[in-house]
Amino acid sequence: MTTVHDFTVSDPTGTAVPLADYAGQVLLIVNVASKCGLTPQYEGLEALHRRYHDRGVTVLGVPSNQFMEQEPGTDAEIQEFCRTTYDVTFPVLAKIDVNGPDAVPLFRYLRAQAPGDFGPAYGSFYDAISGIRPDAGADDVKWNFTKFLVDREGNVLRRYEPPVLPEQIAPDLDELVETVAG
C-alpha cells in the first residue's frame, strides 16, 4: 500500500528529501504562498509547529505559484520571506506545481487520497474562488493554504480547505498526539 512516506520532494537547494525521513511523525503538508490574502496563516502554522513539534508533529510548507502567481519568488526569496516576515522554523520545501500535468507525484497522491469538500459552505471565499477557477477538478487543490493531515504511518487522514485556520486544526493534532501518548 502506498503512503506519503513513499514520496520524495526537494528542499530549496534541490536536495532530495525522502518523506520516509518523517516516518513516525504526524505531518501537516500545506501549499503556501507569500503574496496571498491567506499568507498570514504562516503565523498560525508556525504556532502549531512550535506547539506540537516536540510531540512528533511537523508542518511542511510547499510553495506553489499556481494561484494567480501569488508565489513568484525564487526558492531563496521564499525562504528569506518566511524567515524574516513570520519567523518560520518549519521546513519550507522547493516551489512546485500542485495541480495539472506538472503536479508533483506527492500532490497527485494527496489530492486522490483526500479530494476535499470545497463548496458553498465556505461562503464568499467559495464564490470568489469558483469565479477565478471554474474549471477546477473535484480533487484539485483550489487555492493556497490547502492543508493535508498525515498520520505517523504516512496515511492521509484529512484535507482542510484554505479558509480553515491553523488553530482550527489543533483539536485534531491533540487527538493524534494523545493517541500515541495514551
C-alpha to C-alpha distance for 143 and 71, rounded to whole angstroms: 12
Of residues 14 and 178, more confidently modeled: 14
pLDDT at 94: 98
Verify whether residue 82 is a known catalytic residue: no
Q: Which residue has the cell 501549499?
A: 31
C-alpha to C-alpha distance for 177 and 182, rounded to whole angstroms: 9
114 lies in which domain range? Answer: 4-181
Listed in sequence order, the residues at least 6 apart from 49 whose beta carbon sits closer than 8 Å to its beta carbon are 57, 58, 59, 89, 90
Residue 135 belongs to a domain with what CATH number? 3.40.30.10
10's enclosing H/E stretch is strand 8-10
| pLDDT tens digits along 133-149 | 777 777 889 999 999 99
Listed in sequence order, the residues at least 6 apart from 170 whose beta carbon sits closer than 8 Å to its beta carbon are 48, 51
Task: Judge whether residue 126 has pLDDT over 80.
Answer: no
Among 28, 36, 45, 93, the active-site one is: 36
pLDDT at 97: 97
- Residues 153-168 have a mean pLDDT of 96
The grid coordinates of residue 27 equal 505531518
- Residues 107-131 have a mean pLDDT of 83
Q: Which residue has the cell 500532490?
A: 107
3-state SS, residue 23: coil
The grid coordinates of residue 108 equal 497527485
3-state SS, residue 59: strand
pLDDT at 125: 77
* Domain count for the chain: 1
By the 8 A CB rule, do 93 and 99 touch?
no
Percent of the chain with pLDDT over 90: 81
pLDDT at 181: 52
pLDDT at 109: 97
pLDDT at 180: 58
- Reported confidence tier of residue 41, pLDDT bands at 50, 70, 90: very high
Of residues 109 and 177, more confidently modeled: 109
| pLDDT tens digits along 43-87 | 999 999 999 999 999 999 999 999 999 999 999 999 999 999 999
Q: Which residues pair with 62 in a beta bridge?
A: 31
The grid coordinates of residue 99 equal 495541480
C-alpha to C-alpha distance for 166 and 139, rounded to whole angstroms: 21
C-alpha to C-alpha distance for 71 and 78, rounded to whole angstroms: 8
